C-alpha cells in the first residue's frame, strides 16, 4: 500500500518487541556501560590524561605575568616573537592568543620546568608536534604542567582547536638545547607514557620529545 506524509503508515510500536530486538537493546546497553566505565578506568590506568595544577586566572593577569616572564628571561627575537630562555626549575609561561603562541621557548634537556598554559582570548589547542600531546588551552584557567625535556630538538606547537581565520597560522616554537647535567628525568608519569607511546608510532619521525613529567602537585 502507498503512504503519504499526510496519511501515515500503520504503527506497530505497541506490539511486543521481537526477541532479536530485545537482545540487540541489551547488547547495546551493556556496551554503553562498558564504555562508560572505561572513562574513569582509562583516566586512572591509561595515562592519557596528565594531571597538572590548575588555577583560575584572569586573562589580563596571565598576559601580564607572561610579559614579566618575557622581560625577565628574554634572550632574543625571532619573527617578531621574543625568544625566552628561563633557568632550569623556573615557571614558564606560554600564552595562546589569536593567532600566536608567545613567547618562543628555549629549554634545556634534563631540567624541570613548570609550564603554564593559558589563553587570553578564545579556546586554543596545544599540540606539540610531532608528538601526540594535546591540551585544551582555555581562557580563565592556568594549566601548569611539570615538564622535563629529554632530548634536544626544535619542536612546533600547533593549535588544534579552531580559533578563527588565522587558526592555521598559529604555530609556536619550542627549542630544546643540551643542558649538560643529567638530572634524572622521572619516568612513568602520564605524559611520559603518552609521549613514549606517540614516539613509537611508526610514521612519526622520532626525535625524542621534551618530556613533561607531570604530577599532581
By CB under 6 A, tell whether 157 contacts ligand CUA.
Answer: no
Q: How far apart are CA 61 and CA 68, in angstroms?
A: 11
CA atoms within 13 A on the CB side of 86: 22
Q: How far apart are CA 65 and CA 115, in angstroms?
A: 13
Q: Which residue has the cell 611520559?
A: 192
- Dihedrals phi, psi of 11, to nearest 5 degrees: -75, 155
Interface with ligand CUA (CB under 6 A), residue from 57, 120, 138, 170: 170
The number of beta carbons lying within 10 Å of the beta carbon of residue 164 is 11
Q: Which helix (H) or strand (E) holds 2?
A: none
The distance of closest approach from Cβ of residue 163 to ligand CUA in the complex, given in angstroms and rounded to an integer, is 3
For the segment 59-88, give every residue that binds ligand CUA (CB under 6 A).
none
The distance of closest approach from Cβ of residue 101 to ligand CUA in the complex, given in angstroms and rounded to an integer, is 8
Q: Which residue has the cell 622520532?
A: 206
Q: Please choose, out of 48-56, 59-67, 163-171, 198-206, the segment that lies near ligand CUA by the rule CB under 6 A.
A: 163-171
DSSP-derived secondary structure letter, 87: P
Interface with ligand CUA (CB under 6 A), residue from 161, 172, 176, 195: 161
The number of beta carbons lying within 10 Å of the beta carbon of residue 132 is 16
Site string for ligand CUA, 116-155 (x = CB under 6 A): --------x-------------------------------
Site string for ligand CUA, 91-110 (x = CB under 6 A): -----x--x-----------
DSSP-derived secondary structure letter, 133: -
Report the chain's terminal Cα–Cα distance, integer Å: 69
Q: Map residue 75 onto helix, strand or coil.
A: strand
Interface with ligand CUA (CB under 6 A), residue from 57, 128, 145, 159: 159
For the segment 180-209, give every residue that binds ligand CUA (CB under 6 A).
none
By CB under 6 A, tell whether 167 contacts ligand CUA.
Answer: yes
Interface with ligand CUA (CB under 6 A), residue from 17, 39, 162, 201: 162
Give the binding site for ligand CUA (CB under 6 A): 96, 99, 124, 159, 161-163, 167, 170
Amino acid at each position: 500500500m502507498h503512504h503519504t506524509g499526510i496519511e501515515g503508515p500503520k504503527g506497530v510500536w505497541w506490539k511486543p518487541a521481537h526477541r532479536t530486538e530485545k537482545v540487540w537493546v541489551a547488547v547495546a546497553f551493556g556496551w554503553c556501560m562498558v564504555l562508560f566505565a572505561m572513562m574513569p578506568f582509562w583516566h586512572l590506568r591509561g595515562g592519557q590524561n596528565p594531571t597538572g595544577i590548575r588555577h583560575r586566572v584572569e586573562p589580563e593577569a596571565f598576559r601580564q605575568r607572561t610579559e614579566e616572564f618575557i622581560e625577565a628571561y628574554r634572550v632574543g627575537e625571532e619573527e617578531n616573537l621574543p625568544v625566552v630562555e628561563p633557568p632550569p626549575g623556573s615557571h614558564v609561561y606560554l600564552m595562546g592568543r589569536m593567532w600566536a603562541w608567545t613567547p618562543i621557548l628555549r629549554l634545556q634537556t634534563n631540567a624541570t620546568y613548570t609550564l603554564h598554559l593559558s589563553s587570553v582570548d578564545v579556546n586554543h589547542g596545544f599540540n606539540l608536534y610531532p608528538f601526540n600531546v594535546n591540551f585544551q588551552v582555555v581562557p580563565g584557567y592556568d594549566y601548569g604542567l611539570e615538564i622535563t625535556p629529554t632530548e634536544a630538538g626544535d619542536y612546533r606547537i600547533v593549535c588544534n582547536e579552531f580559533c578563527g581565520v588565522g587558526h592555521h597560522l598559529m604555530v609556536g616554537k619550542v627549542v630544546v638545547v643540551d643542558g649538560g647535567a643529567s638530572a634524572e628525568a622521572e619516568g612513568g608519569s602520564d605524559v611520559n607514557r603518552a609521549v613514549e607511546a606517540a614516539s613509537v608510532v611508526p610514521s612519526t619521525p622520532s626525535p625524542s620529545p621534551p618530556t613533561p613529567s607531570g604530577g599532581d602537585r
